[in-house]
Amino acid sequence: MVVSTRWPAAHWVRSRVRQPFELMTGLGREFTFYGSVIAGVPLAVVKYWRHIMRQIGDISFGGATLLAGGGAIGVVFAMSAVAATQVGIEGLRGLDLLGMGSLSGLLSAILNTRELAPVIASIALAAKVGTGFTAQLGAMRISEEISALDAMAIPSLPFLASTRLVSCLVCVVPLYVVGLLSSYLASRLVIVTFSGQSAGTYDYYFHLMLTPTDVAYSFVKAVVFATIIALVHCSYGYHAYGGPEGVGRAAGRALRTSILAIGIVDLLLTLTLWGLVPSAPALGLP
């Protein structure tokens, strides 16, 4: 207090010099945690498979009804459908201005598969499942349950974090199938049924641009995003402090961090998988 009162400039300089070191320390702690969680996956699969099965049930359907927010499947379905509806409405409107409304099926196949569906499904997974991971682990941390596990010689990281990572990776494929099909159906419903576009023309261009490679790359994105979500949210929950208020802050920070990471990694994966200039072989574009 004496330094900050009598020498505010010195205190300001000291805090600015300390920030890079604190940032590097935090990054080192995070990546060490990620590596430990991934390394504990074999142990979690062999010894704690019952815990993994219970986590899979909680993630997919939860303990309540879907309308009451029981699981992630309803959230992923609804968010994907709403986002794809907006793509269909705005995409058709923009193409009609150019006199190319018949290409709306092409736009739906490209946008939903390559960008919209994996990002929306991942955000829904982070908001519904990831925050649950943070809250559960944070509550265990502040109530000393994690310390009790370590005292009983039960490795807390494989038991708590690695099991959640495995369950998230198992659930993301069927959940993403639901989200991807929901986006396809919503776009077609808006464009063909409500806007009166030709169903044959829409289906022709849609199937022309929907390639197995694009679908496979889209699933790669979903799996990578699910891994990021599980690691980030488990880390914030595992290192939570400050009582119930601290757990709430950790959940909010984890959600912001995971969404930001999804945006950055999505850009990098798009450039890596499809290149700086995406190809469209069906239209004669190499």
The string of DSSP letters for 191-209 reads IIIIT---HHHHHHHHHHH
Which pLDDT belongs to residue 64? 46
Residues whose CB is less than 8 angstroms from the CB of residue 202 and which lie 6 or more positions away in sequence, other chains included: 102, 104, 105, 108, 188, 191, 192
Is residue 261 scored above 80 in pLDDT? yes
- Whole-prediction pTM: 0.85
Which pLDDT belongs to residue 118? 92
Which pLDDT belongs to residue 210? 86
CB atoms within 10 A of CB 275: 9
154 phi and psi, to 5 degrees? -100, 115
Beta bridge partners of residue 285, listed in sequence order: 280
Tens digit of each residue's pLDDT (9 = 90 or more) over 166-219: 999 998 888 899 999 999 999 889 888 888 888 888 888 888 888 888 899 999
Helix (H, G, I), strand (E, B) or coil at 277: coil
Tens digit of each residue's pLDDT (9 = 90 or more) over 110-143: 889 988 899 999 998 898 888 989 999 999 999 8
- What is the separation, in whole angstroms, between the first and last Cα of the chain? 66
Tens digit of each residue's pLDDT (9 = 90 or more) over 45-61: 999 888 888 888 888 76
Is residue 66 scored above 80 in pLDDT? no
SS (H, E, C) 37-72: HHHCHHHHHHHCHHHHHHHHHHHHCCCCCCCCCCCH
Which pLDDT belongs to residue 10? 64
Percent of the residues in the chain that have a pLDDT greater than 90, as a whole number: 28
Which pLDDT belongs to residue 69? 46
Residues whose CB is less than 8 angstroms from the CB of residue 185 and which lie 6 or more positions away in sequence, other chains included: 81, 84
Which pLDDT belongs to residue 67? 41
Beta bridge partners of residue 12, listed in sequence order: none
Residues whose CB is less than 8 angstroms from the CB of residue 127 and which lie 6 or more positions away in sequence, other chains included: 75, 255
Which ranges of 98-241 does DSSP label H, i.e. alpha helix?
Answer: 104-111, 117-125, 131-142, 145-151, 156, 163-188, 199-209, 212-238
